[in-house]
Structure 1
Amino acid sequence: MATYLYRLGKFAYRRKGAVLSVWIVILVLFGVGAATLAGPTTDSFSLPGTPAQKTQDLMAERFPSADDPMNALSARYVFAAPEGQTLDEPANMAAVDEVLAAIRGIDKVSAPAKVDPATATPEEQAGALVNPVLADAGLVEQMKAAGAEQGLPEEAALANAAALSPLSADRTVGFVTVPFDGGITDVDDTMREQIAAAAEVGRDAGLTVEVSGTAAAEMETPGGSSELIGIVIAAIVLTLTFGSLVAAGLPLITALVGVGIGSMGITIATGFADLSSMTPTLAIMIGLAVAIDYSLFIVSRFRHEITVTDDRAEAAGRAVGTAGSAVVFAGLTVIIALAALSVVGIPFLSAMGYAAAFTVFMAVLIAISLLPAVLSLFGEKVFAGRIPGLKSTDAEGDSDTPRAAVKFAGLLTRRPLVPLLVGVLLLGALALPATALRLALPTEATGDPATSARKAYDLVDEGFGPGRNGPLIVVADARDANVEAPVAFGAVVASLTEHDEVVNAQIVAVDEAGDTAQILVTPRSGPSDEATMELVDSIRGEEAQLQDEYGVSYGITGQTALEGDISESLQSALVPYLAVVVGLAFILLMLVFRSILVPLTATLGFLLSVLATFGATVAVFQEGWGGLIANPQPIVSFMPIFLIGVVFGLAMDYQVFLVTRMREEFVHGASAKDAVVAGFGHGARVVSAAAIIMISVFAAFIAEPNSLIKSMGFALAAAVFFDAFVVRMVIIPSVMALLGDKAWWLPKWLDRVLPNVDVEGEKLTRELAADSAGSEAARV
C-alpha cells in the first residue's frame, strides 16, 4: 500500500494542475447537485420489526384512517387561564375562540367541519377545533349516556370522560389538537410562522398559550459558529506546531474542501432518502476533525522529508507513502466502524453512519491526493509566513526531537507500573456513572424548558397528569377469540385497569368488522419515565394468559411505546456492536503491529476510553453534574453506539501514529524500553497537536442548542482526551515498557498467515534506500 501511495503523492505533486482541476470539477458538480437535488430532512424515527411497530402496522391495516403517531402532522395548542381564573369564564372562552378562528386560516389545516359538541366524538371534535370547554361538556354527556347503555356506573363513565377530555379537572388548562394535511416533511417556515401567530392572538387576550406537535416543532439550525470556533482553535494549534502561517493554513484549506464536498453529498442524499436533520451536523463534526488531523500528519511528515531530500516531489511522495499509509488505515477503521452501524438494523442510524463515513472517506481522499497538489502549488513557500519568536521544529526528525516528550517517556518507562495503575484507576472511576445509563429518544419531555413545546408539555403534565402526554394504544384482535368480541375486549380492558400504573383504560374505536378494538390506556407516569416502559412490559407479559383464556391477542403501540421499543433495541444492540468493533480492532491492529499483546492492550485501552466517556457523559447530561445543561435527561438512544464507532477509529488513529514508530525503532535494534522512549519522542508532538485540534472541534459543538449535538460534542471531546492523553500517552507506553520484548511476540505460523500491510511504509523506506544506494554507486 505504501508504494502505491508514494506514487500517488509524487504524481499529484508533479501534476498539480490536473489534480487541482479534477477536484475543482468535483466540488462544482457536488455544489450543483446540492442546489438542485436536495430534499427535506425529517426527525421521525422508526424501527421495523419491534412489537410496537408491528402493532402500529396492524392498526393501520384494520383502521386505515388512523394516524401514524411518529409521522402524523399536527399541532397541539395548550391554553392556561390567568391566575385565579378558569377557562370557562366568558372572556377566556372568547379568547380561545379567537385563537381557533386564527388557526382555521392557517395553510394546510385540515378543513374543519361544523359539529355538535354534544354528539360529536372526540376525534370529530378535534377535527372541528371545538373549544375545550364545550368539548368537555359534550363529552361528559356522551359518556354518561354510553355508560347507562352499557350498565357502567356513573363514576366509571365520568372517569372515561376525564381521560379523554381536553379540559383539566380544575378547568384552568385546556388544549386543542389541530390536524394538518400532509406529513412531517411538508412543514415550512411559513406554516410555523402562522402557527405561532395564532398563539399570539390568545396571549394578547391574556391567556397563556403554548404550542407543541410535529407541525410546530422549532427548527434548530446547528453548526456555523461551532465549526468556526473549532477552525480558529485548530489554526492556532497548527501555527504553534509548524511555526508558519502558510503551513498552518494548508490542512484547514484541504479540510474545508473535503467537508464541503461531504456535506453537499449528504444534501444531495436528502433528495433520495429520509435523513435526520442532525445527520449533516454530526457528519461535519467528525469529518472536519479527522480531515484536519489527516492533513496535519502528512504535512508534518513532508516537513521532515524535505530535510532529508532536496527533491520536493520525492518528499511529497514519501510523506504520502508513509504518513499517508497510516492515514488510509486510520480512515478505513473509522469508515468501517461507521458503516458497520447498518448491522444494528436501524434505518436512521444506518443513514447517520453512512453519511459520517462518506465525509471521512472524502477526508482521506483529499489528504492523499489534493494535499500533495496544494503543497506543489505553494512550492518553497509552504513553510513561509514565520511567526517572530516562534521556533519552527521538525517533529519527525532526530535532531529536533522534543525533549519534553522524551523526558516524559523516560519517566513512564522508569517505573511503568505506577502510571499504568493511575491511568487505569482514573478511567475506571470516571466510568462508574455509566452503570446508571438510561437511553431515550429526544421528545418534548426532554426538550429545552425555554421552548414553547416544552412549556406546552409541562402545562398538560400539571393540568391532566403525566400520562396524558404519553398515552398507550392497545390494539386487541378478537378474530380468533373463543368468545364474542365485546366479551374479549372487556376482558382486556379489565386486565389493563388492574394495573396500579394505569389511570384509565377504555375502548375508543372498533373496526367495521367488529373484531378489532383500539383501547386507550392512560398511564400514571410520563412518556420518558422508566415506570411507563415497565408498564408496557407488564401488559405485554399478560397477553399469553388472555389468549389462552379468551383467544384474544393484542399489542401496544403509540408514540411512547414506539420510542421505548427503539430505545430498548438500541440498548440491547450496544454490547453486540461493541463486541464486533473490539474484535475488528484486534484483527486490524494485529495486521499492523504483527503482535498479539500490542493489539490486546490497545483494544483494552479503547474499552477504557469508551467506558470513561460513557461515565462522564452520563454524569454531566443525565445526572446534571457541573450544571452544563439546564435539564438533565436520558442519553439519546443512538448516541452510545454512534460514539463507539467514531471513538474506535480515532483510538486506532493515535495507536498507529505512536506505536508504529516504537515498532520501527525496535526492529532497527533498539531495546524495548528505548524503542518506547524514541517512538514516543518522535510522535508525541504531532499526536498531541492532532488530539488538541479534535478536542477543540468537538468541544465547540457543546454550545449548540440541540441536546444530541451538545452531548455528542462533549462525548467525542472527552473520548479523544481520554484516549489520546491517558490511554495512548500514559497507559500504552507503560504497558509496553512492562512487557518488554514480549510485546512484539507473534507465533511463527501466524506471522506466515497474516498479510503484511506495511502501514508505516517500512518496505517503501527500504526500497527507496536501495534505489538511493544504487544511484550513488552508479555515479561513482
Structure 2
Amino acid sequence: MQSDGTPWRRRSRPRGDAFARLALTMARHRRRVLACWLVAAAAGLIGLPHLLDTLAAPSVAVAGSESEQASEILGNSLPTLGDEQVIAVFHSPAHRTTDPEFRSALAAGRRALARERSVSGVVQLPMAGDPAPATVLPEAMEPLRALTRDDHIAYVLVGVTGDERQRQRQAPVLQTVVDEATRAASAGTVQGYLVGVSAFSNAVQQAQIRDATRIELVAVPVAMLVLLIGLWAPVAALVPMLVAGASIATTLGLFALLADTLSVDGTVLIAVDAVGLGIGIDYAMFVMNRYRENLAGGATPEQALSRAAATTGRTVVYSGLLLLLAVTTLFVVRWDVFTQLTIGTIAVIAVTSTASVTLLPALLAAATEWLEWRPRWMARWTPFTARDRGGLVRWTDHVTRHPLPYAIGITAGLLLLAAPVQTLRLGVDLEQQALAGTPFLTGRTISDTDIPGLSGMVTIVLPRGPVDGAPAPGPVLAALRADPEVAAAAVLDNRADLTAFVVVPEHPLDSPLTARLVERIRVEILPTTTPPGTTALVGGSSALVADVLAEIAHKQWWVIGMALAVMFVVLTITLRSVLLPVKAMVMTLLATGAAFGLIALLFQGGAGGGAAGSGLIWPQVPLVLCAILFGLTTDYELFLVRRIQEEYLVTGDNRRSIAVGLQSTARPISLAAVIIAVAFGSLVLSSFGSVRAAGFAGAFALIIDATLIRLILVPALMQLFGRWNWWFPTWPRSAPIRRRRRPPSKGGDAVRHNDDSELTEVR
C-alpha cells in the first residue's frame, strides 16, 4: 500500500530502467517474495545442525605440491607408514618407561590403535632408559634413540590411511581409543595423546565452531544497536537486519544441502557471518536511505522506490559484482583453505546481492508506513543522521579550498602507518590459546619439550624403477646429519621401488628455521648428494608448511594485481572515468597498507604480545583480507562518487557536486562503515590470534576509509583534479553531455532526486 492507502499501481513503469522495473515487480508481489525468502531462511536454520555435524577442515596440502606427491608415494610404497604419520605420545608423571604400569598402558594403547581399520601400522620408537632394540623398522628407529631423554615419555609412530577428510574424522576416534586403553591399563596414571596434522585440524575445527557462536552472539546485537542509534527509527533499523539475517541463513542452508559433496569448515562459517552481516546491512541501508530521502522529498512510494533502485540499487549491484570478482582472484592459490574461503564468501555475496534487489524492495513496500515511526521517548531526540547537515557542507567547502595540504598530510600519515608492513611475519601458528586443554596441544607440548622437531618430521622419498639400482644412502645421510638444523636422520628401503629418509629437525614445526631446512634439503643437499636424474621428493608436515608458505609467496602479487585490475575495470565502466579508478586503487592500497602496518606493530611488535604462540600470522589472512577490503572500500567509492557524478552531470559545478555528494552520503557511509567494522571487529573475540588480527585489520581499514579517505582525501583530490575527474576517452570524439536542470522537489532543493534515465548523451 502507498501512503495514501491505494495499492501499488501496475501501470506505473520507470522509463526503461531494469533495476527500477525489478524493484517495482518485487514490491507488487511482496507477499510471494517475502514468503519465498522466509522459507529459504527457515530451511537454512533447520539445516544448520546438519551442517555443523558435517564440518570438516579443508586439505592443508597445496594441490600438486612436492609434499603431497611425496606423501602419496610413501603411503603406496611403505604401507606401514600410511598416508599420514601421527605421533602417539604416552606420558606419566608418576611412572618411568621401565615400570610395569607404564609398559602395560603402552602395550594396551598400541593394541587398541592397531585394531582400528584406519591404522596401517604401529611402530614403537626407542625409549629412554630402555636398551631393548627396536623390533619394527629397526634401521630407521635405532638412529632416533639418541633423541629420547625423558624416561617418563614414550613415542609410537602411527600410520593412518584415507584421504584428509577421512583422517580428520578418525582423529577424535583414535584419540578416544588410545585414551581409554591407556587409562584402563594404568588406572589413569598414564595418558596417551595423538599429535599430527589431522588431529590439529580436528581440534581447530571444534574451536572455530565455538568461536563462530560467540562472535555471532556479540556482533548481531551490537550491529542492531548501532543501526538503531544511527537511524533512530526501530522499523528502519530492523529492515537491514532482516536482509542480512535472511542472506546468512539462506547461504548456510545452501551449504547444508551440499554438505555431503562439498567440504565446509569453521572458517567458512566465520567468513559467511562476518561478510554477510556487514554487506547485508550496508547494501540494504544505502538503498533504504535513498528511498526515505525520496519519500521526504514528496515522491510517491512507487516513484521513491524506482528512483532508489535505478540509482543506489544499481550501485549496490555493481558493488556486489566488484566484491565478488575481487574475491574470485583467490582461486589462483592452489590451497583448499583458500578455495573454501573463496566459495563461502562468493556464495554469501551472491545471496546478499540477490536479497538487496528482491527481498529489500518487498520489505520497503510492506513497511513504508512504519519506516519513520518512533516511540515517544525517541521522538524527543534528533536522529544522528539528521544532525547538522550544514556542518558537512562547511567542512567540504573548507577542504576544497585547501585541497593540497590535506591531500599531502593524509597521504603521508597513511604511508607512515603502513611502514611496519615490511616486518609482517607469516607462518604457521599452532594457536596455543585456542587449543588450550586439547589432547593435541597437550601432547605436542610434551613432545616439543623432549624432542622439539619430532612433530615436524621430514620425509624424503627417492622412487626408482624395477631395473634401477638403489641409490647409495651414505652421501645423503652424511649431508643431512652434518646440517646444524637436523637433530637425527635415518634411512628406509622397501627393497623394491623406494628409498626413503626420515629427518627429525632440531626445531619445532612452526619455527621459520624448520621451513628453511626444508628448502635447503631441496635446493642444496639432495641435488649434490644424489645421482643426476634422480627424482627426490621432500614431504612430511614441515615440508607441507614450507609448500604452503612458498605457494602464497608466489601467488600473493598475482592476487593483489588481479584484484586491482578488476577494481580498475569495474570502476572505469561504472564511472566512465580513467582518473577516478586509479585514485580509488591508490587509496585502497593506503588504507589496507595502514591496517597491515598496525598488525605488524601491535600483534608482532611486542605491544600486543603476539597473536598467540609463535606470534606468526597465518599466511592466508593478508590475501583474503586484501581481496575483501579491496571490494568493500571500493563500495564506498562507488556510493560517494556516483552521487557526486549525478550532481555534476546536472550542474557541471565540480565544487558544488562534491559538497552535495558528501552531504548526501557521508553520514550513511560513516554509519555503514561502523556497522561493517563491528562485523569485522567482532572477530577480535576469537581465540585464534590470526583471526583476531584479521578482525582488527578489517575494522581499522574500513574506519580509515570512511573517515580520513572519504571525508578528507576524496574531496581534496577531486577538487585538485577538477574536470579531469570525468575524462574518459571515446571514439571518434568525446560525447558532449546535455545537462538539464530540474525544478526543485516539493520538499525543497536540499535533496535532489536524480534518475539515471533523465541523463542523456548526444553523440
Comparing 541-550 and 579-588, the one that deviates more: 541-550
Q: What is the rounded CA distance, in whole Å, between the counterparts of 1:591 and 1:327 in structure 2?
A: 15
The answer to whether the Cα contact below 8 Å between 1:76 and 1:175 also exists between their aligned partners in 2 is: yes
2:474 corresponds in structure 1 to: 490
RMSD: 3.6
1:618 corresponds in structure 2 to: 600
* 1:498-518, Cα deviation, whole Å (9 max, x unpaired): 32222222103x1241x4211
2:10 corresponds in structure 1 to: none
DSSP 3-state at the match of 1:626:
coil
1:553 to 518, 528, 535: 535
The answer to whether the Cα contact below 8 Å between 1:2 and 1:321 also exists between their aligned partners in 2 is: no
1:738 to 708, 720, 727: 720
1:502 corresponds in structure 2 to: 486
The answer to whether the Cα contact below 8 Å between 2:621 and 2:690 also exists between their aligned partners in 1 is: yes
1:235 to 208, 215, 224: 224
- 1:171-182 equivalent positions in 2, closer than 5 A: 171-177=151-157
Pair 1:668–1:494, CA change in 2 (3 A): same
Q: What is the rounded CA distance, in whole Å, between the counterparts of 1:628 and 1:239 in structure 2?
A: 36
The reply to whether residue 437 of structure 1 matches residue 456 of structure 2 is no
1:58 corresponds in structure 2 to: 73
* 1:704-732, Cα deviation, whole Å (9 max, x unpaired): 22344333322221221222223233222
Comparing 16-25 and 177-186, the one that deviates more: 177-186
Comparing 697-706 and 15-24, the one that deviates more: 15-24
Instruction: Tell me which amino acid in the other structure corresponds to 1:20.
Output: L
Q: What is the rounded CA distance, in whole Å, between the counterparts of 2:171 and 2:73 in structure 1?
A: 31
The reply to whether residue 455 of structure 1 matches residue 442 of structure 2 is yes
2:381 corresponds in structure 1 to: 390
Instruction: Tell me which amino acid in the other structure corresponds to 1:553.
Output: T
- 1:326-341 equivalent positions in 2, closer than 5 A: 326-341=315-330
The reply to whether residue 258 of structure 1 matches residue 247 of structure 2 is yes
DSSP 3-state at the match of 2:657:
helix
Pair 1:698–1:741, CA change in 2 (3 A): same
Query: Structure 1 residue 371: deviation in Å?
Result: 1.3
2:455 corresponds in structure 1 to: 469
1:581 corresponds in structure 2 to: 563
Query: Structure 1 residue 250: deviation in Å?
Result: 1.0
Pair 1:570–1:526, CA change in 2 (3 A): same
DSSP 3-state at the match of 2:360:
helix
DSSP 3-state at the match of 1:635:
coil
Instruction: Tell me which amino acid in the other structure corresponds to 1:76.
Output: A
The answer to whether the Cα contact below 8 Å between 1:247 and 1:382 also exists between their aligned partners in 2 is: yes
1:12 corresponds in structure 2 to: 26
1:186 to 169, 172, 175: 169
Q: What is the rounded CA distance, in whole Å, between the counterparts of 2:336 and 2:245 in structure 1?
A: 28
What is the TM-score of this pair, normalised by structure 2? 0.85
Paired residue total: 719
The answer to whether the Cα contact below 8 Å between 1:303 and 1:394 also exists between their aligned partners in 2 is: no
Q: What is the rounded CA distance, in whole Å, between the counterparts of 1:160 and 1:593 in structure 2?
A: 66
1:417 corresponds in structure 2 to: 404
Comparing 414-423 and 587-596, the one that deviates more: 414-423
- 1:596-675 equivalent positions in 2, closer than 5 A: 596-627=578-609, 629-669=611-651, 671-675=653-657
Query: Structure 1 residue 442: deviation in Å?
Result: 5.0
Pair 1:32–1:239, CA change in 2 (3 A): closer
Q: What is the rounded CA distance, in whole Å, between the counterparts of 1:233 and 1:2 in structure 2?
A: 41
DSSP 3-state at the match of 1:521:
strand
Pair 1:171–1:301, CA change in 2 (3 A): same
1:152 corresponds in structure 2 to: none
The answer to whether the Cα contact below 8 Å between 1:699 and 1:713 also exists between their aligned partners in 2 is: yes
Query: Structure 1 residue 437: deviation in Å?
Result: 2.6
Q: What is the rounded CA distance, in whole Å, between the counterparts of 1:241 and 1:256 in structure 2?
A: 19
The reply to whether residue 317 of structure 1 matches residue 300 of structure 2 is no
Instruction: Tell me which amino acid in the other structure corresponds to 1:473.
Output: T
Pair 1:394–1:422, CA change in 2 (3 A): closer
The answer to whether the Cα contact below 8 Å between 2:59 and 2:336 also exists between their aligned partners in 1 is: no
Unaligned residue ranges in structure 1 (runs of 5+): 114-122, 148-156, 754-761, 771-780
1:94 corresponds in structure 2 to: 101
The reply to whether residue 541 of structure 1 matches residue 523 of structure 2 is yes
Pair 1:454–1:36, CA change in 2 (3 A): closer
Pair 1:408–1:109, CA change in 2 (3 A): farther
1:356 corresponds in structure 2 to: 345
Q: What is the rounded CA distance, in whole Å, between the counterparts of 2:641 and 2:666 in structure 1?
A: 10
1:298 corresponds in structure 2 to: 287
Q: What is the rounded CA distance, in whole Å, between the counterparts of 2:615 and 2:408 in structure 1?
A: 33
1:511 to 489, 494, 506: 494
Pair 1:485–1:179, CA change in 2 (3 A): closer
- 1:755-774 equivalent positions in 2, closer than 5 A: 765=755, 767=757
Pair 1:481–1:435, CA change in 2 (3 A): farther
DSSP 3-state at the match of 2:461:
strand
DSSP 3-state at the match of 2:672:
helix
Unaligned residue ranges in structure 2 (runs of 5+): 1-14, 736-751
Identity of aligned residues (%): 22
DSSP 3-state at the match of 1:485:
coil
Q: What is the rounded CA distance, in whole Å, between the counterparts of 1:49 and 1:75 in structure 2?
A: 25
Instruction: Tell me which amino acid in the other structure corresponds to 1:345.
Output: R
Pair 1:293–1:99, CA change in 2 (3 A): farther
The answer to whether the Cα contact below 8 Å between 2:112 and 2:178 also exists between their aligned partners in 1 is: no
1:428 to 402, 415, 425: 415
The answer to whether the Cα contact below 8 Å between 1:621 and 1:632 also exists between their aligned partners in 2 is: no
Query: Structure 1 residue 53: deviation in Å?
Result: 2.0
Instruction: Tell me which amino acid in the other structure corresponds to 1:511.
Output: N
Instruction: Tell me which amino acid in the other structure corresponds to 2:19.
Output: L
- 1:104-253 equivalent positions in 2, closer than 5 A: 109=116, 124-126=122-124, 132=127, 136-139=130-133, 159-163=143-147, 168-177=148-157, 183-187=166-170, 212-213=195-196, 214-215=198-199, 217-218=202-203, 219-220=206-207, 221=209, 222-253=211-242
Q: What is the rounded CA distance, in whole Å, between the counterparts of 2:431 and 2:330 in structure 1?
A: 27
The answer to whether the Cα contact below 8 Å between 1:43 and 1:277 also exists between their aligned partners in 2 is: no
The reply to whether residue 404 of structure 1 matches residue 391 of structure 2 is yes
Q: What is the rounded CA distance, in whole Å, between the counterparts of 1:230 and 1:142 in structure 2?
A: 54
Pair 1:680–1:176, CA change in 2 (3 A): same
What is the TM-score of this pair, normalised by structure 1? 0.83
2:370 corresponds in structure 1 to: 381
The answer to whether the Cα contact below 8 Å between 1:300 and 1:394 also exists between their aligned partners in 2 is: no
Instruction: Tell me which amino acid in the other structure corresponds to 2:96.
Output: L
Pair 1:676–1:78, CA change in 2 (3 A): farther
Pair 1:416–1:162, CA change in 2 (3 A): same
Q: What is the rounded CA distance, in whole Å, between the counterparts of 2:46 and 2:733 in structure 1?
A: 50
Query: Structure 1 residue 335: deviation in Å?
Result: 1.0
Q: What is the rounded CA distance, in whole Å, between the counterparts of 2:373 and 2:135 in structure 1?
A: 85
1:690 corresponds in structure 2 to: 672
Pair 1:565–1:486, CA change in 2 (3 A): closer
The answer to whether the Cα contact below 8 Å between 1:602 and 1:655 also exists between their aligned partners in 2 is: yes
Instruction: Tell me which amino acid in the other structure corresponds to 1:712.
Output: A
Q: What is the rounded CA distance, in whole Å, between the counterparts of 2:190 and 2:384 in structure 1?
A: 67
Pair 1:450–1:725, CA change in 2 (3 A): farther
Pair 1:30–1:181, CA change in 2 (3 A): same
Q: What is the rounded CA distance, in whole Å, between the counterparts of 1:480 and 1:434 in structure 2?
A: 52
Q: What is the rounded CA distance, in whole Å, between the counterparts of 1:8 and 1:611 in structure 2?
A: 39
